[in-house]
Amino acid sequence: MNKSSRLPGFYKLGLEDRAAIIAERAGLTASEKAILMGEGLSPAQADQMIENVVGIHALPLGIAVNFLINGQDYLIPMAIEEPSVVAGASFAARLVREGGGFAASSDEPVMIGQIQVLDVADPQAARSELLAQKSRLLQLADQTDSLLVSLGGGARDLIVRVIKDSIVGPMVVVHLLFDCRDAMGANTVNTACEALAPEVENITGGRVVLRILSNLADRRLARARCSIPPDVLAFEAFDGQTVSKRIVEAYALAANDPYRAATHNKGIMNGIDAVAVATGQDWRALEAGAHAYAARSGRYTSLSHWSVDADGNLVGTLELPLAVGIVGGASRVHPTAKVALKILGVTTARELAEVMAAVGLAQNLAALRALATEGIQRGHMELHARQVAIAAGATGDLEVGSWRLEVGG
């Protein structure tokens, strides 16, 4: 059953009550609930994950409410140290909900692996020969992950590029396109590229250097769209048209200026990274892909787009590469990531990418709305004051101001 993610007053509850509601909603077992309450990654588990482990570094895990995406409600786990992000996402999701929610879509989960070939006598001839042997090379790539092939994934295409000049001379770059289904796919793609390399050398007569995936996963894009009627955006002294107009004006700077675009996109990634960390994704890969995609025209620009349509609705869209997985990696090892995925309830990597795109767009909307109207410092400073008070030893229920009060209402 698709239960509503509208949880009015959720933010006013104590931590344990909030956790109890989420546990009940997500059908968490007692031990899964205990993971939320601090019995997460053990030192012994951590010791298996990376090198030279000396401890555990924890982050707050919050739940963004109000999300309606493709007609389905989601409670969104977000792991992040920054105040206002969870509140901002929840608040924006409530506005978007009133316009019908987010529409999200995604490409097939196809990753790109690169094989770099140097010392090729005739790069164009080598390119033709590689393409002539494409189906054999794809078959060879498929043999490296028969499980994934049996699940419907596998090698999809081979693209060959020639870089005519570089400081080390011309080079041929082979792109292996590999459908990774519900995995992020780094290991699969790297293994396939390494397996193809000797054949690529035989065919081209060249010397392979790199065999590695590209984080510019532009075959694996996710998109989100929202449309918000102007009256939904009105607040205090600001009417809805003014808020929409100012959001578009704010966006226009990001669209035209890399200095603003960097900050604008950082706000989008506040949301995406927080879900990525909560669910055990490689957030550095997502960051690399997002910013490379934002610069794909040769000029770094906004990842989102905002306009007002003929009916006066504020329309926002976001598109970016989102190479995420729900099998393999930390998403299946880290106990809290497993619980976070259960709370989110996604069943495919594509669904996770679509949710993350919607969260990124919500985060962008929350930031632009605040920046273009009352400014963000009001909400930020009240939350900051709370952190300072906690650092100084304060406990109990501390007031945190208007931004936060808007969250669950």
Closest CB to ligand MEV among residues 85, 186: 85
Give dist(CA 355, CA 76) in Å, integer. 8
Of 79-138, binders to ligand MEV (CB under 6 A) are: 82
CB of 71 to ligand MEV, least distance (A): 28
Q: Binding string, 55-84, against ligand MEV, x = CB under 6 A?
A: ---------------------------x--
Active site residue 82: yes
CB of 320 to ligand MEV, least distance (A): 15
CB of 85 to ligand MEV, least distance (A): 7
CB of 265 to ligand MEV, least distance (A): 8
Give dist(CA 371, CA 367) in Å, integer. 6
Grouping H, G, I as helix, E, B as strand and the rest as coil, residue 305 is strand
Number of residues that bind ligand MEV (CB under 6 A): 9
CB contact burial 25-62 (16+ within 10 A = b; e otherwise) = bbebeeebbbbbeeebbeeeebeeeeeeeeeeeeeebb
- DSSP labels, 347-383: -SHHHHHHHHHHHHHHHHHHHHHHHHTT-SHHHHHHH
Closest CB to ligand MEV among residues 269, 339: 269
CB of 364 to ligand MEV, least distance (A): 7
Which listed residue (12, 134, 245, 266) is catalytic?
A: 266
Q: How many CB atoms lie within 10 A of CB 276?
A: 26
Query: Which pair of structure tokens corresponds to residue 33?
Result: 């609930």
Closest CB to ligand MEV among residues 376, 405: 376
Of 246-305, binders to ligand MEV (CB under 6 A) are: 263-264, 266-267, 270
Active site residue 236: no
Distances (CA, A) of 33 to 86, 153, 245, 338: 20, 34, 44, 12
376 touches ligand MEV by CB under 6 A: yes
Which listed residue (134, 342, 380, 384) is catalytic?
A: 380
Give dist(CA 284, CA 329) in Å, integer. 14
181 touches ligand MEV by CB under 6 A: no
- Which of 371, 385, 405, 406 binds ligand MEV (CB under 6 A)? It is 371
Active site residue 266: yes
153 touches ligand MEV by CB under 6 A: no
Active site residue 380: yes
CA angle 210, 214, 216 (to 5 degrees): 150
Residue with tokens 């092939």: 149
Which listed residue (73, 182, 282, 351) is catalytic?
A: 282
Residue nearest to ligand MEV (CB): 267
Closest CB to ligand MEV among residues 220, 369: 369
Closest CB to ligand MEV among residues 270, 336: 270
Where is 146: in which H helix or E strand?
helix 146-150
CB of 356 to ligand MEV, least distance (A): 17
- Which of 216, 285, 286, 367 binds ligand MEV (CB under 6 A)? It is 367
Give dist(CA 186, CA 96) in Å, integer. 34
Give dist(CA 127, CA 117) in Å, integer. 11
E strand spans, 60-189? 61-69, 72-79, 103-106, 110-118, 154-163, 171-179
Of 309-338, binders to ligand MEV (CB under 6 A) are: none
Residues lying near ligand MEV in the complex (CB under 6 A) are found at 82, 263-264, 266-267, 270, 367, 371, 376
Catalytic annotation, residues: 82, 266, 282, 380
